[in-house]
Structure 1
């Protein structure tokens, strides 16, 4: 069924509901419900945090497994917003409604305009984002679907094996998954959805190629890398493992690492503009103790991608990396970036953690069009003007340690049973 047909059917249900005593009523997502959220900050880096709890925070037994992080340069309190009847904009994949980062960006804004809210997992348990619903009408040609623009980071201090995301009602111990056919679901786009529809991908600046936008090939690989996703049922999807080929994420780094585990990189500011991202030129490989440079500069300071994985030129120190870049850009006088930026003047931005190795983009759609607002047990007000809610539950999955072959043999014979189981800096130049 086409989405437009689906909307017409839900609109008809809405009209019928308004003219009868029936309980069906089309649902519109209105706001992020903050009853289980505490906003704090700024920290020393200017970041604010909307910490999400499993109970109302006034309860002393309330626990948290994550937060949404934002700053006031690009974002706004509380870090997430719901947009209905979105302006058309310039996006190549336009949507009618979305859940996105709070701030000036819009659902259909230009590429890399700051649409994704930044959710960090701090413990392995579930993070429950609650949303308010109403029966308000959307525009006539609105399909009623909501694209979720999410960036998902690991701040647990250890590796993670994947994640799952589900729809339901309530929070913490009171959470119940949405039932089949209740009108609330994820959108199934078929066997091969577009990346903008249903995907979980590390930044293209690290893994991938985008010839359409004439961007640099990914630093580690020209092949996209991320988590495969499986729509288990209409209310739950989960990861199926990492993909990416010879130089994909898993091949180079193993399981999904935490921010504190991300290696350092060396960055080059090609335009002298602090509001744009500097570009990753080299990374530190702990296994060899070497700085590996997969990118180089031509004589005019233009960036070239010359290698993948750990196959780039090796250097013993940061100073050697800087000397190599300065020698390559022979027509420039490269120096460290000054405290006061000089627009248009390329400079050496120095080292920082490659933070985007600990986070990735997740894209999916929620369909609340046919949700029965009056049958939900978590309805806060049975009147037509009351507030109704649903929950988006996001949960990380622990890494599973794989025993050595000798250990497996011992386990098989019943002799032994083994149950086993740098800092985080601001990433530059790895936007997706």
Structure 2
């Protein structure tokens, strides 16, 4: 027999007999230890899917929340093969508000794509995901992380890993087929600063409506700072994302990451009479607002160049506080259907974007599932 043909045949046989590397695709959010608020649901009311992973006591330290509208129960969904661009993501459950189709990774800006993870204590929260064997997959994670705990936070860590048969979280190890990566699938082999990576690939930012310059997605500047976005610097490695300090544009005004109880009260203008759209922040109480007596124990200030509405327009944010004139404040108080007093809740909500690569899952401690653990760092 021709030696070349024999060699080729042996090589082909070896390829056929060699083990094929496995990989994974997410099939669903594992809700074994999740309790979802019962239906029926009322429009524009907020509901919870509480996560019970507090150890032997089965204590809940938070969960996923959603406001019933274009976001629906259980508040989180998995998208495989987006129907426009073929991408994969972990995002909010619901429908695209513009065309009522099932939410997709590629849905347009301001279509409520981020799922909302909230913490009610300073303890870790674990999200588990079931997987099936498939080709290597990359998932974009679109979420908010909300501090509803009793204290302010200095920061957080996000870890990839697994939940073993005893319910314990096991941290992922190097080259085990589970990793943080860029949108192109480049794994972070060495510790990397988020500031050196594109925001699309890795970011932790507070609402642009509060801090930041206008851009293609945000036509208006931020209320507190019209030039600089408030964010967390982060250090990312293959299996861990660790916060590394909050922007001074946030901390100079409010200190560490505000919890829900410490949120300041603002006055919001309902400029279009539509409950489904965001209202315009006009002023805030520099102090504590008493909702019973309707009084602020400090000043009412605005970060706009003038208080009130002139010719149907609010003043432009200027980044400097000035006291609201008594007459303007009295006018707002006299129109409770137009000017609403409420907490500035986005000061407690951090928008997170990052990517996860699911590679060879055959060596995972739990080959059919993985987990993400979120640990707050209390003040």
TM-score range normalised by the length of the shorter chain:
0.7 to 0.9
Shift of 1:210: 2.0
2:366 to 366, 370, 378: 378
The aligned counterpart of 2:180 is 186
User: Which portions of structure 1, spanning 4 or more consecutive aligned residues, are displaced by more than 6 angstroms?
Assistant: 42-45
Distance 1:201 1:53 in 2: 27
Instruction: Answer yes or no: is 1:218 the counterpart of 2:214.
Output: no
Instruction: Answer yes or no: is 1:353 the counterpart of 2:343.
Output: yes
Instruction: Answer yes or no: is 1:29 the counterpart of 2:26.
Output: yes
Distance 1:19 1:70 in 2: 49
Contact 2:303 2:322 in 1 (8 A): yes
Shift of 1:199: 0.8
The aligned counterpart of 1:74 is 70
Shift of 1:70: 1.1
The aligned counterpart of 1:343 is none
Structure 1 residues 297-347: Cα deviation after superposition (integer angstroms, max 9, x where no partner): 5632123324325x223345xx74253x79xxxxxxx9443xxxxxxxxxx
Distance 2:123 2:86 in 1: 31
The aligned counterpart of 2:117 is 119
Shift of 1:194: 2.1
1:210-359 equivalences under 5 Å are 210-213=214-217, 215-222=219-226, 223-231=228-236, 233-244=237-248, 248-286=249-287, 289-295=298-304, 296=306, 299-309=310-320, 311-315=321-325, 320-321=328-329, 323=331, 335-337=335-337, 348-359=338-349
Structure 1 residues 245-268: Cα deviation after superposition (integer angstroms, max 9, x where no partner): xxx110000011111110100011
Structure 1 residues 334-373: Cα deviation after superposition (integer angstroms, max 9, x where no partner): 9443xxxxxxxxxx232100011111101100011x222x
Contact 2:155 2:257 in 1 (8 A): yes
Distance 2:242 2:344 in 1: 26
Distance 1:363 1:27 in 2: 21
Shift of 1:157: 1.9
Shift of 1:66: 1.4
CA separation of 1:162 and 1:300: change in aligned 2, threshold 3 A = same
Contact 1:124 1:397 in 2 (8 A): yes
Contact 1:290 1:315 in 2 (8 A): no
The aligned counterpart of 2:49 is 50
Instruction: Answer yes or no: is 1:390 the counterpart of 2:378.
Output: no
1:85 to 76, 81, 86: 81
Distance 1:278 1:391 in 2: 37
The alignment partner of 1:271 has SS state of coil
Distance 2:280 2:28 in 1: 36
Structure 2 runs not aligned, ≥5 long? 1-12, 96-102, 187-191, 289-296
Contact 1:278 1:349 in 2 (8 A): no
Structure 1 residues 253-305: Cα deviation after superposition (integer angstroms, max 9, x where no partner): 00111111101000112222211111101000018711001234563212332
Shift of 1:21: 5.7
CA separation of 1:20 and 1:306: change in aligned 2, threshold 3 A = same
Distance 2:375 2:73 in 1: 24
TM-score when scaled to structure 1? 0.71
Contact 1:186 1:234 in 2 (8 A): yes
Shift of 1:53: 1.8
Distance 1:250 1:157 in 2: 18
Contact 1:306 1:312 in 2 (8 A): no
CA separation of 1:315 and 1:290: change in aligned 2, threshold 3 A = farther
TM-score when scaled to structure 2? 0.81
Contact 1:41 1:49 in 2 (8 A): no
The aligned counterpart of 1:420 is none
Shift of 1:99: 0.2
The alignment partner of 2:356 has SS state of strand
Superposition RMSD in Å: 2.8
Structure 1 residues 122-147: Cα deviation after superposition (integer angstroms, max 9, x where no partner): 1111111000111245xxxxx82111
Structure 1 residues 400-419: Cα deviation after superposition (integer angstroms, max 9, x where no partner): xxxxxxxxxxxxxxxxxxxx
1:135 to 121, 133, 140: 133
CA separation of 1:55 and 1:65: change in aligned 2, threshold 3 A = closer
Contact 1:54 1:64 in 2 (8 A): yes
Shift of 1:23: 5.6
Distance 1:303 1:118 in 2: 30
Contact 2:122 2:376 in 1 (8 A): yes
Distance 2:298 2:253 in 1: 15
The aligned counterpart of 2:6 is none
Contact 1:25 1:371 in 2 (8 A): yes
Distance 1:205 1:306 in 2: 10
Instruction: Answer yes or no: is 1:97 the counterpart of 2:97.
Output: no
Instruction: Answer yes or no: is 1:367 the counterpart of 2:357.
Output: yes
